[in-house]
Amino acid sequence: MISTQEKYATRLSAGLGLVDETRALLTIYETGLDNSALVDKALHLGIFPNIAARRLRNIVAECFSPRYLKTGVAALLKPLSDKLNSSEFVQLLLIHTALSNKVLLDFIVEVYWSKYISGQDLLTAEDAHRFIENAVREGKTQKPWSEITIKRQSSYLLGCCADYGLLSATRSANRTIQPVRLQQTTALYLAHWLHFSGLGDNAIINHDSWKLFGLEPHDVRDELKKLAKHNWMIVQSAADVTRISWQLKTMDEVVNVITEARL
């Protein structure tokens, strides 16, 4: 199931990228575990000795669960978490985090990539603040945000982008934009995940997830044609219409290809 939160919420305040925490939770995740059971297991095993129980519950409820449990992808990411390199794994986390936090998705698409395409090297706190202010003014938030909330959420956007490798990790008002290149593992995973979520071929190509990596529909077609060279799919396109024959029949097969072939 594809999760897209239409109204902007403040969930990023509970945790930004949480890359290490997510990887650790995936190692102990088992199918059927709910939020409470996952927290209890983590506390019992002591895998987060420096995180208080209350904080851990908040991380699971506000971050891990909406990103990976409610969407049913935790079971897919678990076998990939220790097989993929850092940049590959982080790209998958970025996709699911952005889909469950539309404020992040829109910020990356509308601000980050606009800056990058225009040749600018920095993304600033002022850029993020202006983006949030405009969103509140346009009614995109669940309720009006105070100036304090706007300032905090602006900071969280920059921090989350840094966690996922889009910006420099330095804690400053100005962050250096770091070029992002779509990994082949990401393209294979995302295309099939959208397909098995019930989207048609052209809806897949036009899905907002690709825009996280600066791709337009014609770029997506090119990426899928590269995948087709490995016989994972057959891509036929004419004008703006594309038809795809999917050779892998389940997401489990996709995960196996990624882990065994090591693209």
Report pLDDT digits (tens) over 24-51.
Answer: 999 999 998 999 999 999 999 999 999 9
DSSP 171-233: -SSEEEB------HHHHHHHHHHHHHTT--HHHHHT-GGGGGGT--HHHHHHHHHHHHTTTSE
* Residue 9: closest CA among 67, 84, 80: 67
Q: How large is the average pLDDT for residues 119-144?
A: 95
**Alpha-carbon span 3 to 226, nearest angstrom:** 27
pLDDT at residue 2, rounded to an integer: 56
Kindly report, residue by residue over 239-253, the tens digit of the pLDDT.
788 999 999 999 999
**Alpha-carbon span 9 to 153, nearest angstrom:** 9
CA distances from residue 3 to 41, 69, 202 in whole angstroms, order as listed: 26, 11, 19
**Alpha-carbon span 25 to 169, nearest angstrom:** 23
Query: Predicted confidence band at 4 (pLDDT cuts at 50, 70, 90)?
Result: low
Give the burial string for 189-216 (b: 16+ CB within 10 Å, else e).
bbbbbbbebebebeebbbbebbbbbbbe
Kindly report, residue by residue over 196-222, the tens digit of the pLDDT.
999 999 999 999 999 999 999 999 999
CA distances from residue 169 to 61, 176, 200 in whole angstroms, order as listed: 26, 9, 38
pLDDT at residue 177, rounded to an integer: 97
Paired tokens of 111: 């601000």
Kindly report, residue by residue over 177-186, the tens digit of the pLDDT.
998 999 999 9
Computed over every residue of the chain, the mean pLDDT equals 94
**Alpha-carbon span 228 to 247, nearest angstrom:** 9
Q: Estimate to the nearest angstrom the gap between the alpha carbon of 86 and the chain centroid.
A: 14
Boundaries of every domain in the chain: 11-84, 100-176, 184-261
Query: Predicted confidence band at 262 (pLDDT cuts at 50, 70, 90)?
Result: low
Kindly report, residue by residue over 66-82, the tens digit of the pLDDT.
999 999 999 999 999 99
Percent of the chain with pLDDT over 70: 97
pLDDT at residue 6, rounded to an integer: 82
Strands 174-176 and 122-124, sheet pairing: antiparallel
Please determine, for residue 142, whether its predicted confidence score (pLDDT) is greater than 90.
no
pLDDT at residue 173, rounded to an integer: 82
Please determine, for residue 261, whether its predicted confidence score (pLDDT) is greater than 90.
no
CATH of 184-261, one of 1.10.4100, 1.10.10, 1.10.3470, 1.20.120: 1.10.10
* Residue 178: closest CA among 164, 190, 194, 165: 165
Of residues 246 and 173, which shows the higher confidence score? Answer: 246
pLDDT at residue 5, rounded to an integer: 57
